[in-house]
Amino acid sequence: MKKTASAVWKGDLKTGLGSISTETGVLKDAPYGFKARFEDGPGTNPEELIGAAHAGCFSMAFSMILGGANLKADEIKTKAEVTLDKVGEGFEITAVHLIMSAKIPGATQQQFEELSNAAKEGCPVSKLLKGGAKITLDATLQS
């Protein structure tokens, strides 16, 4: 399976503007730029999009792992905090912190912790980021 996304950039770094689109059309010419990335300007930015991808990937992986344990979530809510730090002369994504809460009828706290950590390690986006970013998880089982 291959999925595509594209970006167009016009201008210099600080005053230029870009647009991002996805194959599915969910994002179509979504604006991004320096102000959206490093200040509080309008538009999106790569770190925000990586966070959305990681939160979505983790939630789906967790759902799959729960199914393998004969459990089904009523709801899984995941937020990803992506950290971009200045390292040397450039910038690096140094960490992603996942914050998840889920309502899973019949799950014990021990099952929840084991299965959520397995999802954190097994999610394809976690695997992609593992080489360069520290990935952490705060997980809360709702009753």
Contacts (Cβ under 8 Å, ≥6 apart) of 104: 66, 71, 72, 73, 74, 112, 141
12 & 79 share domain: no
Is 90 exceeded by the pLDDT of residue 71? yes
11 & 60 share domain: no
84 & 16 share domain: no
How would you class 4 by CB atoms within 10 Å of its CB: exposed for 0-12, middle for 13-18, buried for 19 or more? Answer: exposed
Residue 104 sits in a domain whose CATH number is: 3.30.300.20
What DSSP element (H or E) covers 53?
helix 46-68
125 & 67 share domain: yes
Domain with 118 in it: 46-142
Q: Band the pLDDT of 131: cuts 50, 70, 90.
A: confident
12 & 55 share domain: no
Share of the chain above pLDDT 70, in %: 100
What DSSP element (H or E) covers 104?
none
For the chain, what is the domain count?
Answer: 2
How confident is the prediction for the chain on average, in pLDDT?
94
- pLDDT at position 21: 96
Is 90 exceeded by the pLDDT of residue 132? no
- pTM over 0.85, yes/no: yes
